[in-house]
Amino acid sequence: MQTVSHAKVSAISPSAPQAFGSQVVVSNVSKSYGAGTFAKQVVHNSSFTIERGKLTVMIGPSGCGKSTLIRLIAGFERPSSGTVTVDDKPVTGPGVDRLVVFQETALFPWMTTYDNIMYGPRARHEDTPEMREFAESLLQKVGLAAFRKKYPSQLSGGMQRRAELARSMINRPNVMILDEPFRGLDAMTKRLMQEYYANLYDEFRRTTFFVTTDIDEAIYLADRILIMTNIPTQVRAVIKVNLPRPRQVENITESDEANAIKMQALSLLHEEAMKSFARGSKAAADFIEAYSKRMTKK
Amino acid sequence: MTTQPAYTSSPASVAGVAAPIARKGGVRIKDVVKRYGTQDAGVLAVDHCTFDVPAGEITVVVGPSGCGKTTLLNAIAGFHSLTSGTIYLDNEMLCGPGKLKAEPGPDRIVVFQNGALFPWKTNIENVAFGPIMQGQMTRKEALEKARDKMADAGLRGIENNYPGEISSGVRRRVEIVRALMTDPKILLLDEPYRALDSLTKSVMHEALLEIFYKNRVTIFFITHDLEEAIFLGHRVVIMTTRPCKPKKILDIDIPHPRDYNVLTTKRFREFMDETAAAVHEEATKAFAAGEKER
Amino acid sequence: MSVLSKWSFKVSSFVFGEDFWRGIVAIIVFLLFWELGSRSEALFGFAFPWVGQIPAPSAVLKEIYRLIQEPSFWHSGYLSTRRVLEGFFAAMLVGIPLGLAMAVSRTFYGITFPVFEVLRPIPPLAWVPAAIIFWPTQELSIAFVTFLGAFFTIVINVIGGAKSIDVRYFQAARSMGSSTFDIFRRIILPGVLPSIVVGATVGIGITWAVVVAAEMISGGGSAGSMGGAAGGGLGFFIWNSYVGGSYTQIVAGMISIGIAGYMSSAILRKIGQLLTPWLVEG
């Protein structure tokens, strides 16, 4: 990428970062909202592991409950039943060890890029010269050094995402959680951001939990893919992606192995997406019926 | 003036699908130029663009954001005028020298990026709106036709709901049915699925194809998503960044009817390989230009 | 494009645009009708209804020219402006903390909101008699009523603004280790600022309306002339002109108040823009 320097950051950061991060275990977790007849179950008896130092991608139809799982892991909400543990310790609330990069930008609009990035350290009274140096190197790393004094509204979509990554990374979280961070970007920016992020991950190699609806994105980034069912969600399949790192887009598109993974994932996802679509209305259900008839005729 | 055969299609697309009547809606774009503003201080959006949109087929135009592809769509629809060049519809001049702006008409219907259903009307009222407004049918006739078309498109049961009550994916389908009410020759879609997530998008694609197979209306589809383009199109036109002009034109010989399994076939991947480099190149140019402007 | 060239481009394209000329012509036509209407008795032999009674713009302009040279007129202006600013700032000083407290604490909200909502619909001017009874001096009763004008608006806007802060900002801040006070200082306060600006801009308009009316109602007090120690102000000036039968003065007074109100809103808007630089772009 022309706009970003590839200087290794680890040498400049204040202290040796924890090389691999934490392990998150989600165990028989269910989550419902509302009570009585209005109760809506969003997550149903879901269990999975987010492995230490690996990039785990969760993919499922939109509205299936992925964002709820993120909130449970981040500690913004508690599960209705089941446990979420980080390094065998149960999650009791939000913490700097689990930071979320949201789908739509959550940069503080009233702060400049630099102030946004320095938010965490200042909140914890860690505004030291070393920390400021680390912020500088991160700004360089994400290619926003020239935009440090700009407000989020003055940055393009791709730049906002990069600023948010920097804002999270300066806190060296043990678990990075990303909730469809590239959704809404146009296809080109998305692709460039994916490449960019893959490089970033390669360099920092900490536990990452990445949620998406885009199968190509999932295969490109993941060490493991969790395929989720429709709402109420649980894991339908786990697919290991053994493609070598660093990942190159050209290699992925040409790789037969990647294509096989895509075929397998697509058939499951398509089924779940159709179910999700059918829930929308009777019209949608009719469409599914007609579609499945046509498919079975083949 | 060269004429274009009234019935053109790539061989593979005909296989397996009955086509009883000669298809309409073929568009020929010839040497079109569009400049906004003046000669010196203006913006050149389209630069000597020439390509064909075969009748009864889906032609997809792919290009980075802001490259000028919407301008072409607007010219066909009659919303914008040309600076020079000619556009033919079924061998007749739609706009060109002496008549730089076409009139909008019921034969060329646009489906926009952002939903344009009236929220205060029910779905069936929305669908029937066009013909009633244009005085082509009585209210009773229009509602009946709307009911039929909606049933055809698998939208039975939501006639009396309001657009706000249904999901965005279903809304998009209602809009397409509404567009088809006047039996247009050509349907113009301007990045209609841009806002949807990948999985809903793929369901939408199949729904669009279902509608297409039933109606065989010519479709002119704009997107920036290459996979969408190759999946849907009989023909894919890859545009350069602004000012746009065709960089590469592909006839996609993957047979219809298509479904999601097509995405992982060898032929599909070959097409992706062939085009990805070209698209990526133009996209990077646009990306760099966009970042600089800020 | 630099800011200056962007601005001059906007101005010049406006000046030479159709809208500008339409606006100019419309205003000229309006003034012409006004002038002709007010002279209608002399010109056409009969007075147009309503318009025929109004003093002509030419007469009003003469009156304004005369008034500008009278120090007592400026003193009235000063009095009204002082009252507006006093009432407005008092409303901000009390309203902002109160609004924040109500937004942040459920308990506090539960206690204060019912009373607040019951009092809010009462128009400030309806308070005038009560204010006169309960406050020792006339000046204080006017001050109280003008305070009320802006107060309710500001509180409502602060509460609304605080509630509309995106929940993800709180989530992100908590995750990164912010204490409650840190969140209040760095998330809530700046997040609420745009709403405060809106409340202030609306509030000051209300304050002007209330001041003028309050001055009219409470009259000159002991000093029956302009510039008395109690009473006075532009509202009283207008009322006095009415009583004295000088219609041109009435219109002149109205125009002065209009200008003063517009200027205070414009100044506040400018201050608002300076305080919220992040809203300027995008």
Which pLDDT score, from 0 to 100, does residue C79 have? Answer: 87
- HEC string of C66-127? HHHCCHHHHHHHHHHHHHHHHHHHHHHHHHHHHHHHHHHCHHHHHHHHHHHHHHCCCCHHHH
**pLDDT greater than 90 at residue A185:** no
**Each residue's pLDDT tens digit, A39-52:** 889 999 999 999 99
Q: Which of these, A247, A283, A280, A241, lies nearest to A259 by C-alpha position?
A: A241
CA distance B29 to B2: 12
**Closest approach of A91 to chain B, Cα-based (Å):** 30
Enumerate the residues of chain C whose CB falls inside 8 A of the CB of residue A96: 175-177
Identify any residues that bridge with B89 across adjacent strands, giving them in sequence order: B27, B92
Beta-carbon separation of C177 and A106 below 8 A: no
Band (B2; pLDDT cuts 50, 70, 90): very low
Which residues 189-218 in chain A show a CB within 8 A of chain B?
189, 191-192, 212-216
Residues B14 and B256: their CA atoms lie apart, in Å, by 8
Q: Is B117 exposed, middle or buried (0-12, 13-18, 19+ CB in 10 A)?
A: buried
Highest mean predicted confidence (pLDDT) among B126-135, B203-212, C156-165: C156-165
Q: For residue C188, give the DSSP letter.
A: I
Cβ–Cβ gap C177/A154 under 8 Å: no
Q: Which of B117-121, C41-45, C70-74, C182-186 has the lowest mean pLDDT?
A: C41-45
pLDDT for B128 beyond 60: yes
- Nearest residue in chain C measured CA to CA from A151: C278
Question: Which chain B residues are within 8 Å of A3, Cβ to Cβ?
Answer: 288, 291
CA distance B59 to B61: 7
Q: How far apart are CA A46 and CA A64, in angstroms?
A: 12
Interface of A with B in 52-81 (CB under 8 A): 61-62
Of A99, A106, A123, the CB nearest to C178: A123
Find out whether B87 and B27 touch, Cβ atoms under 8 Å.
yes
Looking up tokens 């295969």 gives A219
Q: Is residue A186 predicted with pLDDT exceeding 90?
A: no
- Check residues B283 and A86 and name the one with the higher pLDDT: A86
Please state, in angstroms and rounded to a whole number, the distance separating the CA atoms of residues C35 and C57.
6
Does B219 have pLDDT greater than 90?
yes
Poorest-confidence range of A14-18, A283-287, B98-102?
Answer: A14-18
Percent above pLDDT 90 for chain B: 29
Binned at pLDDT 50, 70 and 90, residue B17 comes out as: very low
pLDDT at residue B8 above 60?
no
The pLDDT tens digits of the residues spanning A64-82 come to 889 999 999 999 999 999 9
Cα–Cα distance for residue pair C54/B211, rounded to 1 Å: 69
Quick check: B276 and B36 in contact, CB under 8 A? no
Task: Please tell me the predicted confidence (pLDDT) of residue A16.
Answer: 39
Q: What pLDDT is attached to residue B289?
A: 63
> Using the beta-carbon criterion (under 8 Å), do A119 and C191 form an inter-chain contact?
no
Chain C residue with minimal CA distance to A153? C282
- Asked if B26 and B55 count as a contact pair (C-beta separation under 8 A), the reply is yes
Query: CA dist A95 to A102, A181, C171, Å?
Result: 16, 20, 10
pLDDT band for position A130 (cuts 50, 70, 90): very high
Beta strands in A165-264 (DSSP E): 175-179, 208-212, 224-228, 235-240
pLDDT of residue C180: 92
CB of B239 within 8 Å of any CB in chain A? no
Distance of residue A105 Cα from the nearest chain C Cα, in angstroms = 9
CB contact under 8 A, A283 and B158: yes
Q: Torsion angle of alpha carbons C191, C197, C199, C201, nearest 10°?
A: -170
B9 pLDDT exceeds 90? Answer: no
- Tell me the ipTM for this assembly: 0.82
The pLDDT of residue C151 is 95
The three-state DSSP-derived secondary structure of C154-177 is HHHHHHHHHHCCCHHHHHHHHHCC
Residues 6+ apart with CB under 8 A from C84: C146, C204, C207, C208, C211, C264
Q: What's the Rg (C-alpha) of chain C?
A: 24
Contact call for C175 and A154, based on CB within 8 A: no
Q: Residue C175 and residue A75: Cβ atoms within 8 Å?
A: yes
pLDDT in tens, C192-204: 999 999 999 999 9
More confident residue, C187 or C245: C187
CB contact under 8 A, A277 and B156: no
pLDDT (tens digit per residue) in C139-173: 888 888 889 989 999 999 999 999 999 999 999 99
Using a CB-CB distance cutoff of 8 angstroms, which residues of chain A are in contact with residue B173?
283
B4 pLDDT more than 60: no
Q: Please give the Cα distance from A108 to A114 (Å, whole number).
A: 11
Q: Please determine, for residue B108, whether its predicted confidence score (pLDDT) is greater than 80.
A: yes
Looking at the predicted structure, is the pLDDT value of residue A15 above 70? no
Distances (CA, A) of A124 to A119, B277, C173: 9, 46, 11
Helix then strand count (H, E) for chain B reads 8, 10
pLDDT for position A95: 92
Closest C-alpha among A153, A139, A115 to residue A3 = A139
- pLDDT, greater one: A210 or A280: A210
Mean pLDDT within A227-254: 87
Residue C121: pLDDT above 50? yes
DSSP state of C47: P
Give how far Cα B269 sits from Cα of A266, B139, B276, C248, Å: 15, 49, 10, 84
What tens digit of pLDDT does each residue of B64-89 get? 777 788 889 999 999 999 999 999 99
Distance from CA of A55 to the nearest CA of C (A): 21
Backbone phi, then psi, for B44, in 5-degree steps?
A: -85, 115
**Closest residue, chain C, to A109 (C-alpha):** C278
CB atoms within 10 A of CB B289: 13
Kindly list the distances between the CA atom of residue B258 and the CA atoms of B9, B191, B253, B267, C28, in Å, as whole numbers in the listed order: 16, 20, 11, 13, 67
Distance CA A203, CA A17 (A): 12
Is the pLDDT score of C115 beyond 50?
yes
Q: Which residues of B187-223 are buried (b: 16+ CB within 10 A; e: fewer)?
A: bbbbbbbbebbbbbbbbbbbbbbbbbeebbbbbbbbb
Nearest C-alpha neighbor of C95 from the set C202, C208, C234, C223: C202
Residue A137 has pLDDT above 90, yes or no: yes
Beta-carbon separation of C177 and A75 below 8 A: no
The alpha-carbon gap from A268 to the nearest alpha carbon of chain B, in Å, equals 11
Q: Rounded to whole angstroms, how far apart are CA atoms B61 and B235?
A: 9
Residues of C with CB below 8 A from A176's CB? none
Edge-first strand order for the sheet with B84-89 is B43-53, B27-36, B84-89, B92-95
More reliable by pLDDT, C51 or B250: B250
The total number of residues shown for chain C amounts to 282
Which residues from A are below 8 Å from B289, CB to CB? none
pLDDT for position C36: 85
pLDDT, position A4: 38
DSSP code, position B255: P
Q: Which residue has the higher pLDDT, B10 or A30?
A: A30
Q: Do A281 and B157 touch (CB under 8 A)?
A: yes
H runs (alpha helix) in C164-246: 167-175, 180-183, 189-218, 233-244
Most B CBs within 10 Å: which of A287, A293, A294, A296, as the mutation test of the B interface?
A287
Q: What are phi and psi of B95, to 5 degrees?
A: -155, 150
Strand partners, A177: A100, A209
Q: Give the residue from chain A lying closest to C193, CA to CA.
A: A110
Report which of residues A271 and A221 the model is more confident about: A221
Which among A212, A273, A280 is the nearest to B202, CB-wise? A273
Counted residue by residue, chain A has a size of 298
Cβ pair A3:B263 closer than 8 A: no
What is the percent of chain C with per-residue pLDDT over 90, rounded to a whole number? 40
pLDDT digits (tens, 9 = 90+) for B136-181: 788 999 999 999 988 888 788 888 989 888 877 788 888 889 888 8
Who's near C50: CB < 8 A, 6+ residues apart?
none
Burial class (CB within 10 angstroms; exposed 0-12, middle 13-18, buried 19+) of A248: middle
Chain A residue with CA closest to C171: the answer is A76
CB contact under 8 A, A151 and C175: no
Which residue would you say has higher pLDDT here, B213 or C222?
B213
The tokens describing C99, both together, are 């609004």
